[in-house]
Chains A and B, each alone.
Chain A
Amino acid sequence: MALDLAEFEQAFKSESAEQLEQAENAVLKLEKGPDPEAINQLFRAIHTIKGNSGIVKATAVTALSHALETRLNSIRKGSSSMDSGTVDLVLKTCDRLREMVQALGTSASFSNNELIVQLEGAKTERADAAKPSGTSEKPAGLRIARPPQAMVEKARKDGIFLAFVSFDPLRASLTTVHQVHSFLDCVREHGMVHKPGTRLTGDTLFLYFFMFSAEDPAALIASCGGPVDAVQILQAPESAGAMRAARDSFAPESSSQSSAQSSLQGAGLPAAPETPPTAAPSAMAVPAGAVPAAGLPADQFLKIPTALADDLINASGESIVARNELLLMAARLGDRELAAVAKKMSRLVSYLQDRIMRVRLQKMESVFSRLPRLVRDTAHVTGKDVELIVQGSDVELDKNLLAAVADPLMHIVRNSVDHGIEKAELRRSSGKPERGRLSVQAALSGGNVIITVEDDGRGLDLERLRSKAIERGILSAEQAKAATPDQVYDFIFLPGFSTAERITETSGRGVGMDVVRSNIHRMGGRVDLESRPGLGCTVKISLPQTISIVNCLLAATGASKFALLQKDVDEVLRVDPSLLSRMEKGSVYELRGEILPVLDLHEMLQLETKGKDRYLLVMGTDRYRYGMLFDRIFDQAEFVLKPIGELFSELQHFAGAGVLGDGEVVVILDADGLGRKAGLEPRKAEAEVHHTEKSQQRVTYFLFDLHGQQYAIPAGLKPGLRRLKSGDVFFQVDQESILEDGQILPVIRLDRYFGSEDRPDQSRMFALTVRCGEHRVALIASRILALVSKDVDVALPSSSTPGILGEGIVNNRPTAFLDVDAVVTHQVNERFHAKAVNSDAHTAGAAHG
């Protein structure tokens, strides 16, 4: 029966990928300095690959890993060093091994001669020195023409391997008789060596012997440091079980030896000498998959094909839809018994779905472990010095999502090193540490995995992005100027959009970030970018931890029903019309003293019908906080999140779609996408926006009007908003005041303050309450206009009265940017002065009287 190696091949591929990642990380540690543990880890990884490659008969992989292992061995022994050239060579060999392993089973072929020659450099030199001049190419080993039948029969009968092994020990760096003898001792630990001998052929002194073993002879020879091509198998066990036994023999315990021994003893052959196990060979041959995770015994794990896990997930998704349908039906029929059974089943389906999802969770480590190499290579190519800090490797993510996020993440990290972090001299001149800092971290937040890539580089050049957008005809100059930073940063996610001045080996081709965003969006995630000019850039990827099942709140406005991710809904309120103020652009709602921007879905999504504003959903993400109005709120629902298709994948305000129990499809809104589309200022920016760039003001302003004059105050002051009713304004002594939260607040009428003619109040007036230092005052407004966030060219004020920072044009209207502090201080001083004058006059009058 022919041996089916496909199963081993698959296991070999995945295990080798892990081993190579470990190997690369060890190399990067060694690059920083000598590290005995790292060199051992590296050696073990390559040794394991070599041993396992023998089982799947990947001889080219075996040969290359053997050459690498030999080189590493000489480094371990101190015969050669891990200089930068060796680091590059080892990494290059790891790359080649990865390619070869992944190409197993295909027709791809690789020429490794050059690599092997480089790896054998030191060894070849030594061998050459020992070799008499004029030596010709040596044969790899002796070949036996006719196997001894008695031995073959014995091996066949006992179901074990019989092999003929011959090689020139010098090829395996066995340079003395003692070393050759130790090699034979090692082989004897795992099998039986029969009829050893030497033969001088030409200039080569071959060692040869026959070997009986339960393990795969090539792997065994390799694990003892011999060349794999030295093995000529004369008889192999026929059952795949024996092969599995051969593979299991790579387990860390010494059970392999005892099993081999008992097998030999059972076969009536003399057992191999009982030698104490040497730590090196057995410890070296541990494949990653054989090591039980989290301290659990290996038999508590079960390997299942990914396709089967996928089937389970899909079936689980469908069962959710069917469950929803059943619940709906039970509710419609009003049958209590049916409803009880449906609820019980619903709980079970939820539980099953949760457990099945966990089947596919994998640690971020499998992706994060690739970062050190990537950062190192990119930093080398670009001539930068970058420190990588990785956190959250233990965070788990769905296997498919993990695989899909790997490339986008690599792209973002490469971009950070190439475009973000500056070269040492530039950093020095900017007062930054010469070494750039790149932090990549994963965290779990409300069912989402947030991957944050943060660098301390130059950040994105907002003006360059604007110019590029104008140059490419994406925006007019006017639009570019009006665009918020978030909207401008969004340009880099457009296909072909790149501000790189040069195309480098690593980036600058303008391909990538659009693919990054669309890939992540396709997975139900999102990518956000925040830049701090001169200080760095942060890219945040947010992905659902498991594909697909999301808890939503259903709400409708007019004829349109939407689902909102429950995690984004802070609260649901019945609208109090007196607290809702329509502005020229959008609305605001006064929520317990907070002015909450309210998005108009009807306008934003161009809905056909507009509902009544009965309910306010307060949306809160880590980026935005705002309200949305709906006229109906339905139940909560669990959905299998479906992507909304390629055509709509650019619409950032949709997170996906779901199917209701009755088959109706609803769109799931993306709270952050909506906030971005509406041009809201991100929450965090409140503290940061007060900086100025050149002559421009980049602040979110609250715009209001008083008798035709438009004013702006920073939204960061968090003004309270109140509509004034008749009688709300009263005189406290001679000061106009209002009562707010039990406090008497002085009223400031800006027209009067700036010396304009007093005009009578209109029927609808507002009070904007603001705190300045120890004072809290109420500014009177006749209209609340908008929250705006845009770059405004500000000119110096024409008035000499304190209280105006500058004047500019906002929404085509001249606008006075208020310095509220100055207004209040001036007002207080004026009143104090006036009181003092009055008091003096009164005193003088009294004196005269």
Chain B
Amino acid sequence: MNFIRNKNKLSVSLSAADLGERKDALVQLLADVPLEDPPALLIISARGADDCGWVELRAILSLVERAKARGFEVELRFPDALKRLFTDLGISALALT
């Protein structure tokens, strides 16, 4: 996992492996993503991932929730197949781009 701070954007890049099951480190890392001013846009991306652990999804959504609470805009950039699964499960309320 990488996260890059660039002006008003905070980018968190996750690998397919990061989203696999039982990646405890990811859960902890996402919990520790610093949501500080001045960035106002959180971009979470996971390229090449075709599945996502429920625990990992929870950590992502938790991060999204915290970011929103801090006034961040959030953008998720996930592969289409995974996005369709999210939509089917009713996770479409998120800004999936």
Partner-B contacts on A (CB < 8 A): 126, 129-132, 169-170, 174-181, 184, 195-198, 200, 203-205, 207-209
Check B86 against A177 for contact (C-beta < 8 Å): yes
CA A692 to CA B64, docked complex, whole Å: 92
Q: Which residues of A contact B85 (CB under 8 A)?
A: 177-178, 181
CA A126 to CA B55, docked complex, whole Å: 11
Q: Which residues of B contact A130 (CB under 8 A)?
A: 21-22, 24, 27, 53, 55
Extra contacts, 6 of them, besides A175-B22, A200-B65 (Cβ < 8 A), are A129-B24, A130-B24, A177-B52, A198-B89, A198-B90, A205-B57
Check B91 against A198 for contact (C-beta < 8 Å): yes
Q: Which residues of A contact B93 (CB under 8 A)?
A: 197
A341 vs chain B, min Cβ distance (A):
78
Check B55 against A198 for contact (C-beta < 8 Å): no
Candidates A132, A176, A181, A196; contact of B27 at CB < 8 Å: A132
Candidates A131, A181, A200, A204; contact of B89 at CB < 8 Å: A181
Q: Which residues of A contact B33 (CB under 8 A)?
A: none
Check A205 against B54 for contact (C-beta < 8 Å): yes
Q: Which residues of A contact B86 (CB under 8 A)?
A: 177
Q: Which residues of B contact A126 (CB under 8 A)?
A: 22
CA A595 to CA B61, docked complex, whole Å: 97
Candidates B24, B27, B51, B61; contact of A198 at CB < 8 Å: B61
User: What mask results when residues 55 to 72 of chain B are scored 1 for a CB within 8 Å of chain A, else 0?
Assistant: 101100110010000000
CA A180 to CA B82, docked complex, whole Å: 13
From B27, B58, B61, B91, name the one whose CB has the most chain A CB atoms within 10 angstroms.
B58
B27 vs chain A, min Cβ distance (A):
6
List 5 A–B pairs whose Cβ atoms lie within 8 Å, in order of A's numbering: A129-B22, A130-B53, A130-B55, A132-B27, A207-B89
Q: Which residues of A contact B62 (CB under 8 A)?
A: 200
Check A178 against B51 for contact (C-beta < 8 Å): yes
B8 vs chain A, min Cβ distance (A):
26
Q: Which residues of A contact B28 (CB under 8 A)?
A: 132
B31 at interface by CB-CB < 8 Å: yes
Check A181 against B88 for contact (C-beta < 8 Å): yes
Candidates A131, A132, A175, A184; contact of B31 at CB < 8 Å: A132
From A126, A132, A197, A204, name the one whose CB has the most chain B CB atoms within 10 angstroms.
A132
CA A248 to CA B28, docked complex, whole Å: 48
Candidates B21, B55, B57, B89; contact of A196 at CB < 8 Å: B89
A151 vs chain B, min Cβ distance (A):
16
Q: Which residues of A contact B31 (CB under 8 A)?
A: 132
Check A176 against B51 for contact (C-beta < 8 Å): yes
B36 vs chain A, min Cβ distance (A):
22
A542 vs chain B, min Cβ distance (A):
62
Please, which residue of chain A has its CB at the minimum distance from the CB of B88? A181
> If the complex has contacts A129-B22, A198-B61, A205-B61, are A170 and B55 also in contact, measured as CB distance less than 8 A?
yes
User: What mask results when residues 65 to 97 of chain B are scored 1 for a CB within 8 Å of chain A, else 0?
Assistant: 100000000000000001001101111010000
Check B52 against A176 for contact (C-beta < 8 Å): yes
Please, which residue of chain B has its CB at the minimum distance from the CB of A131? B55
CA A170 to CA B54, docked complex, whole Å: 7
B85 vs chain A, min Cβ distance (A):
5
A504 vs chain B, min Cβ distance (A):
47
CA A142 to CA B67, docked complex, whole Å: 24
A281 vs chain B, min Cβ distance (A):
19
The 6 closest A-B pairs by CB, nearest first: A197-B90, A205-B58, A196-B90, A130-B55, A177-B52, A178-B51
B11 vs chain A, min Cβ distance (A):
22
A349 vs chain B, min Cβ distance (A):
69
Q: Which residues of B contact A181 (CB under 8 A)?
A: 85, 88-89
CA A184 to CA B89, docked complex, whole Å: 8
> If the complex has contacts A195-B90, A198-B90, are A177 and B54 also in contact, measured as CB distance less than 8 A?
yes
Check A184 against B24 for contact (C-beta < 8 Å): no
CA A184 to CA B65, docked complex, whole Å: 25
Q: Which residues of A contact B82 (CB under 8 A)?
A: 177
CA A179 to CA B55, docked complex, whole Å: 13
CA A126 to CA B53, docked complex, whole Å: 13
CA A272 to CA B21, docked complex, whole Å: 30
Check A184 against B55 for contact (C-beta < 8 Å): no
> If the complex has contacts A129-B22, A130-B22, A130-B24, are A177 and B89 also in contact, measured as CB distance less than 8 A?
yes
Check A169 against B90 for contact (C-beta < 8 Å): no
From B52, B54, B58, name the one whose CB has the most chain A CB atoms within 10 angstroms.
B54
Q: Which residues of A contact B88 (CB under 8 A)?
A: 181, 184, 196
Check A175 against B55 for contact (C-beta < 8 Å): yes
B88 vs chain A, min Cβ distance (A):
6
Please, which residue of chain B has its CB at the minimum distance from the CB of A205? B58
Q: Which residues of B contact A178 (CB under 8 A)?
A: 51, 85
Q: Which residues of B contact A207 (CB under 8 A)?
A: 89
Please, which residue of chain B has its CB at the minimum distance from the CB of A188? B88
Candidates A176, A203, A204, A208; contact of B53 at CB < 8 Å: A176
Candidates A175, A195, A196; contact of B54 at CB < 8 Å: A175
A684 vs chain B, min Cβ distance (A):
68
From B27, B31, B86, B91, name the one whose CB has the most chain A CB atoms within 10 angstroms.
B91
CA A567 to CA B57, docked complex, whole Å: 77
Q: Which residues of B contact A184 (CB under 8 A)?
A: 88-89
Please, which residue of chain A has its CB at the minimum distance from the CB of B81? A178
> If the complex has contacts A170-B54, A181-B85, are A176 and B90 also in contact, measured as CB distance less than 8 A?
no
Check B22 against A176 for contact (C-beta < 8 Å): no
A272 vs chain B, min Cβ distance (A):
14
CA A174 to CA B27, docked complex, whole Å: 18
> If the complex has contacts A195-B90, A200-B65, are A180 and B54 also in contact, measured as CB distance less than 8 A?
yes
Q: Which residues of A contact B51 (CB under 8 A)?
A: 176-178
CA A196 to CA B58, docked complex, whole Å: 16
CA A179 to CA B85, docked complex, whole Å: 10
> If the complex has contacts A130-B27, A196-B90, are A169 and B65 also in contact, measured as CB distance less than 8 A?
no
Q: Which chain B residues numbered 1 to 50 have a C-beta less than 8 Å away from chain A?
A: 21-22, 24, 27-28, 31
A274 vs chain B, min Cβ distance (A):
16
Q: Which residues of B contact A175 (CB under 8 A)?
A: 21-22, 53-55
Q: Which residues of B contact A179 (CB under 8 A)?
A: 54
Q: Which residues of B contact A174 (CB under 8 A)?
A: 54
Please, which residue of chain B has its CB at the minimum distance from the CB of A203? B58
CA A209 to CA B91, docked complex, whole Å: 12
Q: Which residues of B contact A208 (CB under 8 A)?
A: 90
Q: Which residues of A contact B57 (CB under 8 A)?
A: 177, 205
A273 vs chain B, min Cβ distance (A):
11
A249 vs chain B, min Cβ distance (A):
25
B55 vs chain A, min Cβ distance (A):
4
CA A207 to CA B86, docked complex, whole Å: 11
Q: Which residues of A contact B58 (CB under 8 A)?
A: 200, 203-205
CA A129 to CA B89, docked complex, whole Å: 25
From B21, B55, B65, name the one whose CB has the most chain A CB atoms within 10 angstroms.
B55
CA A205 to CA B58, docked complex, whole Å: 6
CA A200 to CA B55, docked complex, whole Å: 11
Candidates B27, B52, B54; contact of A169 at CB < 8 Å: B54
Q: Which residues of B contact A200 (CB under 8 A)?
A: 58, 61-62, 65
Q: Which residues of B contact A176 (CB under 8 A)?
A: 21, 51-54
CA A196 to CA B93, docked complex, whole Å: 11
CA A184 to CA B21, docked complex, whole Å: 20
Please, which residue of chain B has its CB at the minimum distance from the CB of A168? B54
Q: Which residues of A contact B21 (CB under 8 A)?
A: 130, 175-176
Please, which residue of chain A has its CB at the minimum distance from the CB of B61? A200
CA A496 to CA B28, docked complex, whole Å: 68
Please, which residue of chain B has its CB at the minimum distance from the CB of A197? B90
Q: Which residues of A contact B90 (CB under 8 A)?
A: 195-198, 208-209
CA A178 to CA B85, docked complex, whole Å: 7
CA A198 to CA B57, docked complex, whole Å: 11
Q: Which residues of B contact A129 (CB under 8 A)?
A: 22, 24
CA A181 to CA B86, docked complex, whole Å: 9
Please, which residue of chain A has its CB at the minimum distance from the CB of B52? A177
Please, which residue of chain B has its CB at the minimum distance from the CB of A198? B91
Please, which residue of chain B has its CB at the minimum distance from the CB of A179? B54
B19 vs chain A, min Cβ distance (A):
9
B3 vs chain A, min Cβ distance (A):
19
